[in-house]
Amino acid sequence: MSSARERLTRLLSLVPYLDAHPGADLEETAGYFNIDSDTLIDDLQLLFVTGRPGHMPDDLIDASWEGGKIYISNAEEVSVPVRLSAEEAGVLVLALELIDTLPGLDTQAVRTAAEKLRLAAGENLHTPVEVSPIPADEELMTFLKQAIDAEAAVEIDYYVASRDELTRRIVAPSRLVPGADWYLDAWCYSAQAPRRFALSSIRSWNSAVHPPLGVGDQQSSAHEVTMTLAPDGAWLADELELSEREYFANGEPSVRIRFLVHSVDWLSRFLLCHADVITDIDDSDAVEAALQRLG
């Protein structure tokens, strides 16, 4: 049995279809809407109490299906196919604009779909629906996407409005995030910690020749680490926003994660904070640095 939402959606499509195909065959119409003929007759009977406010006989839709041929009348106000409003289409266009910024997609197909949606939604307005995506410097966006794909460090001049200060930093970009502005999530070698940077505050950018060595950190270059978490620590995989993880049972269910680390100093502090749920790690330098901190 169809839900109320499914039935309403079907009726909103059924009336325009029957209005455009007078004398439509009952069985063929049922097949077209992927329902049986009894369900279609139930829908047609519902049309008798459907129409304009007032509920007078001439306000309601009339339907007949004698002889297996369907005819409807008095359905002019609901005979137009359902269309997206300009606002609904605008949200979808904006979503496509954001998808267009993601790496590894067929950008031409996304842009074509967005343009068709603009035109289709704007037919009644006789003008395409205009939606402005979040503004961002195209050259900067391209540069950062390439750096993310290459897992490369970059040098940026970043304006800190709260201090009215222009700072120079070397960062390792990890992802671009849309919001009120575009933001860059990255490891900041200056702060020796992850940071989020607003693209509108990046004044200049260049490829970094090499990441700097942090204070007391003799292995600052990016490297991958494999770590095993106890069941109580499985949430750390979500906290680190990791997609590469493996669940297995060895006495108790555990999770093995693999991720990119830009600083042994950061990793050693991470180990000290979560030592009770980390059962194995393949980075001996980080373990030694953590032990030195304890000593």
Please state the φ and ψ torsions of residue 207, each to the nearest 5 degrees.
-70, 135
Looking at the domain assignment, is residue 128 inside a domain?
no
Q: Are residues 288 and 235 in the same domain?
A: yes
Q: Of 53-57, 138-142, 150-154, which has the strongest mean pLDDT?
A: 138-142
Q: What CATH number should be reported for the domain holding residue 199?
A: 2.30.30.100
Full residue range of the structural domain in which residue 281 is found: 223-294
Q: Are residues 282 and 247 in the same domain?
A: yes
Q: Are residues 157 and 173 in the same domain?
A: yes
Q: What CATH number should be reported for the domain holding residue 244?
A: 3.30.70
Looking at the domain assignment, is residue 13 inside a domain?
yes
pLDDT tens per residue across span 168-207: 888 888 888 877 688 899 888 777 778 889 999 999 998 8
Looking at the domain assignment, is residue 212 inside a domain?
no
Tally: H helices and E strands in the chain: 9, 12
Q: Are residues 234 and 183 in the same domain?
A: no
Q: Are residues 190 and 247 in the same domain?
A: no
Looking at the domain assignment, is residue 133 inside a domain?
no
- Say how far apart CA 234 and CA 242 lie, in whole Å: 11
Looking at the domain assignment, is residue 65 inside a domain?
yes
pLDDT tens per residue across span 49-102: 665 555 555 557 778 888 889 988 776 655 555 566 666 777 777 777 777 766
Q: Are residues 96 and 56 in the same domain?
A: no
> CB under 8 Å to 286, separation ≥6 — which residues?
225, 261, 264, 267, 268, 271
Q: What is the pTM (predicted TM-score) of this model?
A: 0.42
Of 63, 94, 121, the one marking the end of a domain is 121
Task: Grade residue 46 by pLDDT with cuts at 50, 70 and 90.
Answer: confident
- Say how far apart CA 247 and CA 19 lie, in whole Å: 56
Q: Are residues 13 and 57 in the same domain?
A: yes
Positive or negative torsion for Cα 84, 90, 92, 93: positive
- Say how far apart CA 79 and CA 70 lie, in whole Å: 15
Of 207, 234, 249, the one marking the end of a domain is 207
Looking at the domain assignment, is residue 217 inside a domain?
no
Determine how β-strand 193-198 pairs with β-strand 278-281: unpaired
The domain total for the chain is 4
Looking at the domain assignment, is residue 255 inside a domain?
yes
Nearest to 210 by CA among 218, 222, 194, 195: 222
Q: Are residues 16 and 74 in the same domain?
A: yes
Q: Of 28-37, 121-130, 264-273, 285-294, which has the strongest mean pLDDT?
A: 28-37
Q: Are residues 15 and 58 in the same domain?
A: yes
pLDDT tens per residue across span 257-292: 887 777 777 788 888 888 888 988 988 888 888 888
Q: Are residues 112 and 143 in the same domain?
A: no
Distances (CA, A) of 98 to 92, 112, 126, 202: 10, 14, 26, 20
pLDDT at 256 over 90: no
Q: Are residues 116 and 149 in the same domain?
A: no
| Residue listed under structure tokens 């204070």 | 215
Q: What is the pLDDT of residue 81?
A: 56
Q: Are residues 235 and 262 in the same domain?
A: yes
